[in-house]
């Protein structure tokens, strides 16, 4: 199966421009013989949408979703967007469309709410880790912070996932100066293929966006303004650079192809069932895994009274 991953640079809050670009790319991928196109997290909207998130949110019955879905006739695509549910909840989602039909929208489960990340202020959390079948492969979708919580990828492989689609928006410096996002994602992207024996199609975005924070300043610090106010406020703005580096990793944890840093790009690879089979014969890490044991232990930990083994 041929897969194409698009490392895009979405225009912040410009749904129309981003939609046109994505539809064009899906058609191009189909012309190149790709059975699947994958786009980054929030590819339709950009990341730092702030309190304007609802302006670019779309429902599953919207004209935009219909246009995206129609573009997948004869192929498939996974696209990050902001979803509005019928009950007016909002989600950081990924549309999964195959051959002109909507399969589902995966909703991000672990929403960060620290530093520059404000997703939990605006979005509701998903409730499931669904998988889908495409060309005899079982595929699980994850969005960014979901991969930082190992229980979620485990739920994917318990459902016999062969491929992870990892959609994310990672920017330089967003976790502080002491932490390298590029290095950390390089480890994460390869860890799950090595342990679980799966392909990992990792799609990050590029481009720049400004994050604005309103900070309170004590009157003692602003006394020279003579406003008479007890508290003043200022708007702090910082520009973040999304670094790209999208890659497709094989079941041995080896990078097949990698996009450059900071530039839009398109990468592709052939996904092989033979290589999956080879890895699982050679290193059958999951052969003896017992999800029923995991379930029993979670039941005990969450619901049973603490018991101490003194033997």
3-state secondary structure of 134: strand
- Active-site residue identified among 30, 108, 190, 279: 108
Average pLDDT over residues 133-159: 97
| Under 8 Å between Cβ of 24 and 188 | no
Question: Dihedral, CA atoms, 186, 187, 190, 191, nearest 10 degrees?
Answer: -160
Angle at 98 between CA 95 and CA 100, to 5 degrees: 100
Q: At 174, is the pLDDT very low, low, confident or very high (cuts 50, 70, 90)?
A: low
258/148 Cα distance (integer angstroms)? 21
User: Which pLDDT band holds residue 196 (cuts at 50, 70, 90)?
Assistant: very high
Known catalytic residue at 108: yes
Q: Determine the average pLDDT of the residues in 227-245.
A: 72
- The question of whether 305 is a catalytic residue gets the answer no
Q: How far apart are CA 153 and CA 146, in angstroms?
A: 8
- 243: Cβ contacts below 8 Å, ≥ 6 apart: 170, 171, 172, 181, 182, 204, 206, 261, 262
Q: What is the pLDDT of residues 271-281, one digit of tens each?
A: 999 999 999 99
Task: Enter the tokens of residue 116.
Answer: 């520059």
Q: What is the 3-state secondary structure (H, E, C) of 205-271?
A: CEEEEEEEEEEEEEHHHCHHHCCCCCEEEEEEEEEEEEEECCEEECCCCCEEEECCECCCEEEEEEC
- What value does the mean pLDDT take over residues 129-144? 98
The phi, psi pair for 297, rounded to 5°, reads: -65, -40
What pLDDT, in 10s, does the model give residues 274-308?
999 999 999 998 888 999 999 999 999 999 977 66
Compute the distance between CA of residue 53 and CA of residue 45 in angstroms, rounded to an integer: 9
pLDDT for residue 204: 98
Sign for the CA dihedral angle at 39, 45, 49, 55 comes to negative
Q: What is the pLDDT of residue 176?
A: 65
First to last CA, the chain: 54
Q: How confident is the model at residue 138 (pLDDT cuts 50, 70, 90)?
A: very high
For 274, list phi and psi in degrees, rounded to 5. Answer: -65, -40
Q: Choose the catalytic residue: 25, 30, 41, 118.
A: 41
Give domain limits for the chain. Answer: 2-209+241-303
75, pLDDT greater than 80: yes
Sign of CA dihedral 211, 109, 143, 174: positive
pLDDT band at 214; cut points 50, 70, 90: low
SS3 call for 203: strand
What the block records as the tokens of 99 is 């051959």
DSSP-assigned states of every residue in 274-304: HHHHHHHHH--TTTT--HHHHHHHHHHHHHS
Q: Which of 144, 190, 202, 279 is catalytic?
A: 144
46-60 mean pLDDT: 97
Maximum Cα–Cα distance across the chain: 75
The predicted pLDDT at position 274 comes to 98
CA 35 to chain centroid, in Å, comes to 20
Residue 253 pLDDT > 80, yes or no?
A: yes
CATH 3.40.50.720 matches 2-209+241-303: no
Q: Tell me whether strands 255-258 and 2-7 are parallel, antiparallel or unpaired.
A: unpaired
Helix (H), strand (E) counts: the chain: 7, 15
């Amino acid at each position: 199966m041929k897969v194409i991953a698009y490392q895009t640079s979405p225009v912040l809050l410009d749904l129309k421009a981003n939609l046109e670009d994505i539809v064009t790319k899906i058609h191009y991928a189909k012309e190149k013989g790709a059975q699947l196109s994958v786009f980054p997290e929030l590819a339709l909207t950009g990341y730092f949408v702030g309190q304007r998130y609802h302006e670019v949110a779309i429902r599953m019955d919207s004209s935009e979703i219909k246009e995206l879905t129609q573009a997948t006739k004869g192929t498939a695509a996974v696209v990050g967007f902001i979803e509005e549910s019928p009950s007016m909840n909002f989600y950081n989602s990924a549309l999964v469309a195959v051959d002109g039909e909507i399969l589902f929208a995966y909703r991000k489960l672990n929403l960060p709410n620290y530093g520059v990340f404000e997703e939990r202020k605006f979005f509701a959390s998903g409730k499931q880790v669904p998988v889908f079948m495409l060309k005899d492969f079982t595929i699980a979708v994850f969005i960014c912070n979901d991969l930082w919580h190992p229980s979620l990828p485990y739920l994917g492989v318990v459902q016999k996932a062969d491929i992870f689609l990892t959609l994310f928006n990672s920017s330089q410096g967003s976790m502080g100066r002491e932490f390298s996002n590029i290095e950390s994602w390089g480890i994460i992207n390869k860890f799950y293929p090595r342990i679980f024996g799966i392909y990992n199609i990792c799609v990050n975005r590029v481009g720049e966006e400004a994050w604005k924070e309103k900070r309170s300043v004590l009157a003692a610090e602003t006394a020279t303004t003579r406003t008479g106010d007890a508290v003043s406020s200022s708007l702090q703005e910082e520009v973040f650079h999304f670094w790209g580096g999208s890659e497709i990793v094989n079941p041995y944890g080896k990078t097949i192809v990698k996009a450059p840093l900071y530039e839009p790009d398109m990468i592709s690879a052939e996904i092989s069932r033979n290589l999956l089979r080879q890895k699982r014969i050679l290193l059958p890490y999951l052969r003896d895994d017992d999800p029923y044991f995991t379930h029993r232990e979670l039941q005990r930990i969450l619901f049973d009274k603490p018991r101490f083994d003194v033997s």
